[in-house]
Structure 1
Amino acid sequence: MPSPQATPGARVLVIEDEADIRHFVRLALESEGHEVTEAATLERGLIEAGVRRPDLVVLDLGLPDGDGVDFIRAFRSWSSSPVLVLSARSTENDKVRALDVGADDYLVKPFGSAELLARTRAHLRRRNRHAGADEALLSFGNIAIDRARRRVTRDGEQVHLTPIEYGLLLRLTSHPDRVITHRQLLQELWGPVHADNAHYVRVHMGNLRKKIEADPSRPRWLLTETGVGYRFSPEGPVHT
């Protein structure tokens, strides 16, 4: 198996009140050349974020002076840098709540360094190519999307998508490696009145995969985050 694609050294802010976990995360990130700043509280995390302008935030939700969700809300008011949540809270509702307010990913404790670093690499790659995310042409595998002409091809042949299918594909591919929740997709494509009808998304995603994926039952590009939503991975599933 080829080694993971390296990402340039980045500024990473780790907000975690448990010193042992902070130390573990710091060592893992520094092993890949990243510059790491630590904070043990919500208040300190906000100060460091404002001063350091991190390329990535690794965030615990259970902080001694507040909820990490409040950090995400404040951070998202001025920064689009990815936020990777680390938390012992493992329910789908906790994941959806954090992702809906602007987190990019969610890793449940306990976790290994290999998975942490794989997710970190994916989000830093997304950030590095974000400047080109709005370009008219996008391709992955044998799929090409021409945003200007609203045209999708597979192996050079046009793929006929419904407006909803095209909207799903465009939303996911515009934010590679980021988890998009059912609620976010429903609000954008169907409107707020359908925000709780997750089965709408599942049906249309199933149809979209039949047209995009070589094996819809084992998707390579349009990945499911069980009970939460979907993720577009331009390089296929992350292996840890």
Structure 2
Amino acid sequence: MKILVIEDDRLIGDGIKAGLSKLGFSVDWFTEGKTGQAALSATSYDAVVLDLSLPGIDGLDILRGWRQQGRDEPVLILTARDALEQRLAGLQQGADDYLCKPFALSEVAARLQALIRRRHGQLQPVLRHGAVAMASGSHTATLNDEPLPLKPRELALLELFLLNPGRVLTRAQLEEKLYGWDDDVSSNAVEVHIHYLRKKLGSTFIRTVHGVGYTLGDA
């Protein structure tokens, strides 16, 4: 899943990016509000982590502008503003969740997973397709109830397909979701990940739609 982080504190922002990346998220991190604000118009994100006290523009103003534009990406606010009135203001402007600093990275990840599941209409914490199950909160997967040894990007790719059953995803869409702006991406990276997933899950688990992209096969 691809996450946009707008946080001007470099220690916090670097920690969020490093921690979420280890869990299989693709993360773009910006320290300036206006730059991060523009990023949402340029790239498709599954969720946003937004600080409120940003240089140049307040986080609430960014959020208000997104909602006025009709953007529906889930937004998790991270801030030191912990007064009830300030939390209510964030929620009233369209925030989906609110977490005060200091926070645990594991809670950030869990809240993001819950927001993304709800956006895709998946209310259960475990995603299933046939004999394959994935607990998105813990980023673990099983096949026939046996642990699946998947690498972080393989898990991220599996989650993408499980969240989009019946939908054909193009190579460009998969690449955009799996990698951040500053990642080096080889021309066949997506195909390599799909190849290894098929080896572990079966050749028909992911079906190629020639000339279009990829989709889940029969369960």
TM normalised by structure 1 equals 0.49
Match of 1:78 in 2: 70
1:33 and 2:33 matched? no
Matches for 1:172-211 after TM superposition, within 5 Å: none
Shift of 1:58: 0.1
Whole-Å separation in 1 of the counterparts to 2:84 and 2:44:
30
Whole-Å separation in 1 of the counterparts to 2:7 and 2:65:
17
Which residue, 72, 79, 82 being the options, matches 1:87? 79
1:125 and 2:108 matched? no
Whole-Å separation in 2 of the counterparts to 1:47 and 1:115:
27
Whole-Å separation in 1 of the counterparts to 2:74 and 2:10:
23
SS at match of 2:112: helix
Deviations along 1:4-37, one digit per CA (max 9) or x if unpaired, are xxxxxx1110000011111111122112211111
Match of 1:13 in 2: 4
2:32 is matched by which residue type in structure 1?
T
Match of 1:162 in 2: none
Whole-Å separation in 2 of the counterparts to 1:58 and 1:101:
15
Whole-Å separation in 1 of the counterparts to 2:27 and 2:6:
11
Shift of 1:62: 0.1
Q: CA RMSD in A?
A: 1.1
Whole-Å separation in 1 of the counterparts to 2:113 and 2:26:
14
1:128 is matched by which residue type in structure 2?
H
SS at match of 2:94: coil
Shift of 1:55: 1.1
Whole-Å separation in 2 of the counterparts to 1:25 and 1:123:
17
Runs of 4+ in 1 over 3 A off after TM superposition: none
Whole-Å separation in 2 of the counterparts to 1:47 and 1:114:
28
What percentage of aligned pairs have identical amino acids?
Answer: 38
1:50 and 2:36 matched? no
2:16 is matched by which residue type in structure 1?
V
For structure 2, the 5+ residue unaligned runs are 123-219
Whole-Å separation in 1 of the counterparts to 2:18 and 2:46:
17
Shift of 1:78: 2.9
Deviations along 1:56-83, one digit per CA (max 9) or x if unpaired, are 0000000011210011011112311100
Which residue, 82, 94, 100 being the options, matches 1:108? 100
Whole-Å separation in 2 of the counterparts to 1:120 and 1:29:
10
Whole-Å separation in 1 of the counterparts to 2:76 and 2:105:
14
Whole-Å separation in 1 of the counterparts to 2:117 and 2:15:
22
2:113 is matched by which residue type in structure 1?
R
Q: What number of residue pairs does the alignment pair up?
A: 121
TM normalised by structure 2 equals 0.53
2:49 is matched by which residue type in structure 1?
V
